[in-house]
A and B are shown apart, each in its own frame.
Chain A
Amino acid sequence: MTSMSGAEAIAAQTDYLAEFRIGSEPYYRPVGQEIALFDAAYQARMPIMLKGPTGCGKTRFVEHMAWRLKRPLITVSCHEDMTASDLVGRYLLDADGTVWHDGPLTLAVRLGAICYLDEIVEARQDTTVVIHSLTDDRRILPLEKKNEVLPAHPDFQVVISYNPGYQSVLKDLKESTKQRFGAIAFSYPEPAIEAEIVAREAGVERRIADTLVRIAQRSRNLKGHGLDEGASTRMLINAGLLAAKGIPLADACQVAMVLPITDDPELRDALTAAIAACM
């Protein structure tokens, strides 16, 4: 059935995997124990769940850890229409017949990468169960269609991210999925640290970064009172990037924060007024 021998395929994929290696250190400013915790979890190959609001640094943290552990990182952004085949792989047609194509999860399992399933609640619950056999002591991935049981590479680890803020009853993890993971909680950093991050990532003066963080706190006060989520660190960095290009700070905040975050004109007015109070 397959056109390549197993060894050839692995060789080809090893090259392929090079793209998933992280060359230079991604900037990450630790705010607590998270690096030590993740390190320990990885030593035990424990599946890890990163919990926290959007834009607080979950993805950056995984990249940083992959770099630190010198493992390739395969990221899958989950979505509603994703099927188990999209994760595991499928037969495709070519001129001579059919060829098996590993999905991203299979690739990571075979070659020992960290597989990062971003926003896993977006995927349907029957899709996410494929990771069950990988996240308990079996550490195997059955490829039903291929009639193969793939034992996980010793370096393989599953990491998922999970935003507890916006899941609804319909979009939540199964209890059996949740209970396979250790979890590290993320939130927006302390003001001083957040300002440091914004200043560095956006390349703005500390004074401007401080103001941006103050503004963010105002918007976070509105969480649950009109906003589903306050302005994230990512939004602050975006605003800072605009400001660094010479856009006045108030305008930068409009573009990068107020307009994206809500469609409610009253809330926009309130936010704009609150931003004025911060400057």
Chain B
Amino acid sequence: MNARHAAAADPALSLKENQAFPGEWGEQWRAARRRIEQAGYGGAIAAAYRRHGVELALLASPQAALRLGRAVSELAIRAGRRAAAALPEAALAAAGKPAEQMVLTRWFELVELVARQAPESVPPLLEGTGKLLAILDGAGFEAFVRMGLAAGRGDPERRLRFFRREDDEARHFLDREAGMTDFLALEGRLKSYYTALWGLRPAIREVPREAPDHLRRRVGFGGGVVRVPAAFPGFSAEDSRNLYHAALAHVGAHHRFTKSPFPAGKLKPLQVAVISLIEDARVERLAMAELPGLAALWRPFHGARPGGAAIAVGLMARLARALVDGDYADPDGWVAKGRALFEEAFAADPADQDFSRRIGGLLGNDLGQMRLQFDAKTYVVQPAYRDDNLGIWDFADQEDQAAFEMEQMIETARIETEERDDGEPDRQEPDPDPQDEVNRVSLRAEEENGVLVARYAEFDHATGRERPEWCALREYAPKTASAASIARLLDERADLTQRLTALISASRISRQERVRRQTDGEFLDIDACIEASITRRMGQTPDPRVHGRYERRSRDLCVHLLIDVSRSTGENVSGAARTVLDIERHAAALMAQAMDGLGDPFAIAAFCSDTREDVRYLRVKDFAKPYDSAARARLAGLESGLSTRLGAAIRHAGADLRSQQTYRRLLLLITDGEPSDVDVDDGDYLVEDARAAVHALNRDGIDVFCIALDCDAESYAERIFGRRNVVAFSAIERLPEKLPALYLRLTA
């Protein structure tokens, strides 16, 4: 026993170990090994550590191997033996990536973080390390891990799914990272590209995450919406870019040249696929006649060659190429037949889309008789830029799975704010555009839970990255109360209303203008000078107003008032019978009254939140709408509740302000406490996110100003908005009186 213990305590190092741990490292390695072996974790862990530790030392450094020892202990205690045994190999995978020491250190810390907060998720994370790091860099890996912990907060099942990469959000994130050039990065230019080419502007949207896999791999269209995959995994950045462009050019060709959808009738899936292929070729041929450069865009994606297994999909890809690429030679009889038929029909009447149906049907039959395998379930259109072809078929009279799925898609398609006019909620003024019919139907269904209008990214200060589409912003119809109560509120302090109006009307916010013929000023008014000179020579008294100056004379600003209605605003102000929300309401009413009288465009909205999936936004008054009794009633009806997820609300209000054309644009936020939400523990997280949102607005020339009804507002408000852009009140009830002075400061 003693002898064995002595041997274990002081084992001789192998040749490899000596190589890996030269000099003094040898002793430390021995000690680390001993700790693991004697800790009673079991032989498997000790063996794994010994074997992979050495390799890790060779691959990275002796320190890394020692660090691994500490991590193994930590995992064994917190996440169990299985996780601890898997760690050494995963560490090797992490180190195998051409990454520097720092990344590996961080990796250990992250794994330990997961072991502490989500021990059940450690094994899937370790197993996936190799694959994850093939896609993600160090920072991306950290962002992934933190997203997983945040997404599955208090829900181990969800976390497991996330770290197994089965969760939609995880898959979505990885898709984006893998594709490098994803749709989000290209969205703006793709929309413009589509419009430039075809003169149409359909809604172009990312395929929803919850869509079935085959719909997420190809572009598709229907119902006035073009659906685009979040990313094309497996293509380089350059290729992805071209692929998106090629795909949209192709969809546009359908929009332009496929005049009516083909009735699917009783056609077999193979026939549908072949007819689609012919129609694809037909519209592309027509498009290329108009825009010859498209050939160079499409052709590189046709990689099919003669040879290979005799399966239907292979032959179809070859036919597709043969029809697009005139130089392509293919010995196959079926391909040659298809080509001859197509050329003959196309020469006769290229605008006749029925020939696609005719030829496609024939060729489909031929394929069927050749008894070639075709699996409609796994079939994905080739090449990758072509759409899934659901858009050119009319499955109306049958319960076709595909048609059903497409409807589902559109139902669930995201409703984006930019597709609406001037930020009007759809439910108030339904867009008469029939293309939006489908959206409206689903909107009504969602009325109860608010209307999902946008998803906003959130900034994670720990990783310095955005979590894409993290917050779901939903617009709710505000409750209404008697509009007269607002009028009473203003009547009580009529003096205040008057003072504020006077002040606002006096402040001049606009572009500079040149004012001539002044008695003093910064430049000489040449016309006036000449006249004065002339008058003098004529022996008369000259007009002394010979100067000019630059002045801001007219008003040109708009204000967006954003009111925090989180639960804390329902508390009574100390020593008064009124709640914080009452004070906010009074202040908003004052401002609204003054601005309305002056004709300055303004909007009022309120917000609160209940986790990232439900950031609530209540429109009290929009820029384009009058400040009428309905708006007053909505203002009167605001109620307190839930939490304060500031960043998403600021982003949404900013989207409205961005569309305003005035010289100065101001977002004025009234809040009573620091941002918080029930699904966030990290106190700094939402503060930093709000700060990022404010910066984004500032970059667009929008000023953001905060009125903090909170004595220790300095702590967070100044961090978010900057010291100059915050006014903190401890004596809340005096806010209405202070507003005029505040306003002066804002517009100075």
- Hey, which bits of chain A sit against chain B, CB under 8 A? 81, 83, 85, 90-93, 97-98, 214, 217-219, 221-222, 225-226, 266-267, 269-271, 273-279
Contact = CB atoms under 8 A, between A and B. Distances in A.
Contacts of B624: none
B396 interface: no
A161 B527 CA distance: 27
8 contacts: A98-B537, A266-B188, A267-B192, A269-B193, A270-B193, A273-B245, A275-B293, A276-B297
A85 B526 CA distance: 12
Contact of A276 (B201, B290, B293, B537): B293
B527 A273 contact: no
Interface in B526-575: 527, 530-531, 533-534, 537-538
Most buried by B among A98, A225, A274: A274
Interface string B115-138: 000000000000000000000000
B112 to A, nearest CB: 42
Interface of B: 188-193, 195-199, 201, 245, 249, 290-294, 296-297, 514, 527, 530-531, 533-534, 537-538
Contacts of B293: 275-279
Contacts of A90: 527, 530
Interface-centre pick from A93, A219, A273 (highest chain B CB count, 10 A):
A273
Contacts of A217: 199
B297 A81 contact: no
B296 A276 contact: yes
Nearest to B244: A273
A225 B192 CA distance: 7
| 5 residue pairs, one from A and one from B, having the closest CB atoms | A270-B192, A274-B196, A266-B188, A221-B199, A277-B293
Contacts of B537: 93, 97-98
Contacts of A275: 293
Contact of B195 (A81, A93, A225): A225
Contacts, number: 74
Contacts of A279: 292-293
Contacts of B196: 218-219, 221-222, 270-271, 274
Contact of B197 (A81, A97, A98, A274): A274
B183 to A, nearest CB: 13
A232 to B, nearest CB: 16
A93 B190 contact: no
Given A97-B537, A98-B537, A277-B293, A266 B530 contact: no
A277 B294 contact: yes
Nearest to B188: A266
B624 to A, nearest CB: 15
A215 to B, nearest CB: 9
A271 B190 CA distance: 10
B287 to A, nearest CB: 9
Given A221-B195, A273-B193, A93 B530 contact: yes
A97 B530 CA distance: 12
A103 to B, nearest CB: 12
Contacts of A266: 188-189, 192
A269 B296 CA distance: 17
B530 A267 contact: no
A277 B297 contact: yes
Contacts of A98: 534, 537-538
A97 B537 CA distance: 7
B664 to A, nearest CB: 16
A148 to B, nearest CB: 16
B192 A271 contact: yes
Contacts of B297: 276-277
Given A221-B198, A278-B293, A279-B293, A273 B189 contact: yes
Contact of B534 (A93, A222, A225, A267): A93
